[in-house]
Amino acid sequence: MTATPRSTLWTDVDFDRDGKQVDWLYLHHSVTRSAYGEIMIPITVIRNGGGRTVLLMAGNHGDEYEGQIALVKLIRELEPEDIKGRVIILPAANLPAAVAGVRVSPLDGGNLNRSFPGDPAGNPTQRIAHYISSVLFPLCDGFHDLHSGGASLQYLPFASMRQSGDADLDRRSLAALTAFAPPIAIVWAYAGAGTYAASAANERKVPNLGGEFGSAGMVDRAGVALVEAGIRRFLAHFGILPKQAAKAAETPTRLMEIKGRHYYVYAPDHGVFEPAVDLGQDVSSGQLAGHVHFIDNPARPPVPCHFKASGMLICRRAMGRVERGDCVFHLATDVHT
Ligand SMILES: [Zn+2]
């Protein structure tokens, strides 16, 4: 058993052992039906000698499936002799959310991707975040956190990086993003909540990627294929897989960025949202985004909302019902180098 002094999670995995270990992280969770119970979070370590280490993660949000599927397939397919160095895989990082098929943990309401760098004495979600940031990130030369839109959002699939403010780190993350070679690559060019897995990886100076590979709590075949091919190119970029094990991308990458909150549109009232534009469409600042209708009060005129920036629509809300403050659209703009 490997004790992890900085974390309350424990594991039988030996991170320094060659071979393939498909095992668990144990997260203590004592409840009436299981006084000494542990939540067993799957972790796989594949190692073949010295070299670089990459952490691949999915299930940060439970209702985002393309990454979860690609990583459980990779766990079965990848053998130590295929690689040089080490691959650590967490296919269902917030396991309670993943098995329930929901975004946040049903145990504590915790959103793992708003819980970094975590707390070793916090709720289960905070303790998972703390293990990843304090135990796994220090082992890593690269990190990929695979997301999708989840139940509420529809995306044009992309891989992404989040700017850190450290020019050298950003250059290394951009090189990894270029190697992943998605059809659309997004740079999150503003800090946002600052409690993302990417924020903690940036803090630890680990080059890292994210990405949204599917929509609406569904499983998109093209999204799974993009993750599978891109992950192999990502591993080859770090010298873990040989170059010939990664197939070149067929589509050139369009590099885009999201510069701030003004790229987002929020529902101005409670009701049913009728969009006025489609995903992938170019829109202009001031253009109508849609209307909120009041089906329980037909005499009330619908309330419009408008774009505050110009760009291409990369994300829209997947659900018709809205509450005031729900994100209904966000856009991205081309990076001109
Ligand atoms: Zn997500």
Query: 296 and 182, same structural domain?
Result: no
Q: Which residues of 127-154 are buried (b: 16+ CB within 10 A; e: fewer)?
A: bbbbbbbbbbbeebbbbbbbbbbbbbbb
CA dihedral 218, 224, 227, 231 (to 10 degrees): 140
CATH of the domain at 83: 3.40.630.10
- CA angle (330 as vertex; 328, 333 as ends), nearest 5: 160
Q: How far is the CA of 290 from the centre of ligand 1 (A)?
A: 25
Domain total in the chain: 2
Q: How far is the CA of 298 from the centre of ligand 1 (A)?
A: 36
Domain extent at residue 313: 265-334
Alpha helix (H) residue ranges in the chain: 66-77, 95-100, 124-131, 167-180, 197-203, 221-237
Task: List, in order, residues 6 or more apart from 245 with CB less than 8 Å away.
Answer: 82, 232, 235, 236
Range list of β-strands (E), the chain: 10-11, 19-28, 38-48, 53-57, 85-90, 142-145, 153-155, 158-162, 184-188, 208-212, 254-258, 264-266, 271-275, 282-283, 288-293, 303-306, 311-317, 321-322, 327-334
Which residue, of 196, 225, 258, is where some domain finishes? 258
pLDDT in tens, 114-142: 999 999 999 999 999 999 999 999 999 99
pLDDT at 336: 86
Which residue, of 241, 258, 275, is where some domain finishes? 258
Among residues 220, 245, 252, which one has the least CA distance to residue 231?
A: 245
Q: How far is the CA of 160 from the centre of ligand 1 (A)?
A: 12
Please, which residues have CB less than 5 A from ligand 1, an ion? 61, 64, 147
Give the helix, strand, coil percentages of the chain, each rounded to 5: 25, 30, 45
pLDDT at 3: 45
pLDDT at 192: 80
> What is this structure's pTM?
0.96
pLDDT at 130: 97
pLDDT in tens, 240-251: 999 999 999 999
Query: 155 and 17, same structural domain?
Result: yes
Residue type, 118: G
Task: List, in order, residues 6 or more apart from 96 with CB less than 8 Å away.
Answer: 39, 62, 105, 106, 107, 124
pLDDT at 6: 78
Q: How far is the CA of 148 from the centre of ligand 1 (A)?
A: 5
pLDDT at 166: 96
Q: How far is the CA of 65 from the centre of ligand 1 (A)?
A: 10
Q: How far is the CA of 57 from the centre of ligand 1 (A)?
A: 11
Using alpha carbons, list the distances in angstroms from residue 74 to 20, 44, 230.
12, 10, 12
Which residues in the chain come in under a pLDDT of 50? 1, 3-5
CA dihedral 149, 313, 208, 48 (to 10 degrees): 60
Query: 315 and 207, same structural domain?
Result: no
The reply to whether 36 falls in a domain is: yes
The reply to whether 274 falls in a domain is: yes
Among residues 142, 189, 131, 181, which one has the least CA distance to residue 13?
A: 131
Query: 308 and 234, same structural domain?
Result: no
Q: How far is the CA of 301 from the centre of ligand 1 (A)?
A: 35
